[in-house]
Amino acid sequence: MHVPLVDLRAQYATIRNEVEPCLQRICASQSFVLGPEVEALEREIANYVRAPHAIGCASGTDALELALLACGVGSGDEVITSAFSFIAGAEAIMLRGARPVFVDIDPDTFNLDTDALERAITSRTRAILPTDLFGQCADMSNVVGIAELHGVTVIEDAAQSLGAEHDGRRAGEMAPFTTFSFYPSKNLGAFGDGGLITALDDDTAGALRCLRTHGESERYVHAQVGRNSRLDALQAAILRIKLRHLDQWTALRQAHAADYTKQLQERGLTERVRPPVTAATSTRHVFNQYTVRVESREELRAHLQSCDVGTAIYYPVALHRQPCFRGVVDAKLQLPDSERAAAEVLSLPLYPELTEAQRTFVVDRIAEFYA
Ligand SMILES: Cc1ncc(COP(=O)(O)O)c(C=O)c1O
């Protein structure tokens, strides 16, 4: 049986009848960049995450860069971020001329450890950039509380967590800036790159809109040096269709994740394959990934691959160990929970259309490996 890590074709088959006429409509309009589809998507996402403003842009990485630009992060500043995450946040900090300060994670949730965060604050700290890894919000009430106490801003990287909630509050309504990615494999994926930022106040939203179009305040008048980072109408139209299905897809992801955990427990495998932990404060985990911690990861992965089961390692190298940060990070810095996570994590196939037979097949192959 073939069980891919992600199966976008299965999802497309369910929405094809909605998508194709819509693509034809955009082609007939020949209006491609920003415009009414993007504005409608921005309103719908703002409504979905209960944020006052949403600003579309070209990718989740650009969303992070635009947020850092809007809050004025630059040379000499420090931005505290998790050492166990995708590179985009730390990369954006470096590209602004600032310094990423990596802190360790909570080993249960893989998200920023807020005690370590508090210890890392200095007079140079300008912002905190937590990631909601694998679809579970970081400990956002604590992060925002610490930021307010120290007068610094927060950019929540919610690329993997559209629709996730912390203490009943949604990613997008908690931090001054929340960034999202519509990369095709995300819970809400475009047919290419796309991203979005939510903001809580009018001035920030205005600044972000200006920055995404070359800092233009009025036609050919540039109040600031900005970027070209716009969302296009084709992507927005597709995302609007998919957004209508997102809650149902999320419920399926949650049910499949619960079923994996149940099957691993029933087979007595949870000592060797530790299921993901949902924090008590994580009131809606949207499972962009089902990530376990395993013994003998490389061998298990090779076994699953030989059985036609796709897996992924998000992420094999903790950020403070990445070659591109040599010279920026103290070579002796040790962040044991991030390093252990990088050595142990394995993401199993998870997507709404995954069948029970496929899940059982995956768990059978895991059981066979450890037998
Ligand atoms: C946590 C995280 N941040 C940022 C990004 C960057 O998003 P994009 O690929 O849309 O630039 C991703 C995408 O993989 C991500 O997973």
In this structure, are 287 and 167 located in the same domain? no
Which positions ≥6 away from 332 have C-beta within 8 Å?
none
Residue 290 contacts residue 276 (beta carbons within 8 Å):
yes
CA 182 / ligand 1 centre spacing (Å): 8
Tell which of 243, 263, 295 closes a domain.
243
Which positions ≥6 away from 210 have C-beta within 8 Å?
216, 217, 223, 224, 226
Residue 292 φ/ψ region, left for φ over 0, alpha for ψ in the -120 to 50 degree band, beta for the rest = beta
pLDDT digits (tens, 9 = 90+) for 50-101: 999 999 999 999 999 999 999 999 999 999 999 999 999 999 999 999 999 9
Rounded Cα gap, residues 105 and 337, in angstroms: 6
pLDDT higher than threshold 90 for residue 330: yes
Rounded Cα gap, residues 333 and 116, in angstroms: 13
CA 188 / ligand 1 centre spacing (Å): 12
Rounded Cα gap, residues 270 and 97, in angstroms: 44
pLDDT digits (tens, 9 = 90+) for 332-362: 999 999 999 999 999 999 999 999 999 999 9
Q: Is 195 in the pocket of ligand 1 (CB under 6 A)?
A: yes
Q: Is 77 in the pocket of ligand 1 (CB under 6 A)?
A: no
In this structure, are 64 and 189 located in the same domain? yes
Q: Residue 1: inside a domain, yes or no? A: no
Q: Residue 178's domain spans which residues?
A: 8-243
- Report how many domains make up the chain: 2
In this structure, are 174 and 212 located in the same domain? yes
In this structure, are 125 and 39 located in the same domain? yes
Number of the ligand 1 atom closest to the C-alpha atom of 131: 1
Tell which of 215, 243, 271 closes a domain.
243
Q: Is 235 in the pocket of ligand 1 (CB under 6 A)?
A: no
Which positions ≥6 away from 291 have C-beta within 8 Å?
110, 134, 276, 314, 345, 346, 347, 348
> Average pLDDT, stretch 24-35?
94
pLDDT digits (tens, 9 = 90+) for 247-304: 999 999 999 999 999 999 999 999 999 999 999 999 999 999 999 999 899 999 999 9
Q: Is 160 in the pocket of ligand 1 (CB under 6 A)?
A: yes
Q: Residue 3: inside a domain, yes or no? A: no
Tell which of 225, 243, 261 closes a domain.
243
In this structure, are 325 and 342 located in the same domain? yes
In this structure, are 36 and 139 located in the same domain? yes
Number of the ligand 1 atom closest to the C-alpha atom of 88: 4
Q: Name which residue sits closest to atom 7 of ligand 1, judged by CA.
A: 60
DSSP annotation string for 77-95? -EEEEESSS-THHHHHHHH
Query: Which mutation among 5, 129, 160 tests ligand 1's pocket best, with the greatest number of atoms within 8 A of CB?
Result: 160
Residue 175, φ and ψ in degrees, nearest 5: -105, 155
In this structure, are 28 and 122 located in the same domain? yes
pLDDT digits (tens, 9 = 90+) for 170-192: 999 999 999 999 999 999 999 99
In this structure, are 175 and 251 located in the same domain? no
Dihedral sign, CA of 314, 315, 319, 322? negative
Q: Name which residue sits closest to atom 8 of ligand 1, judged by CA.
A: 60
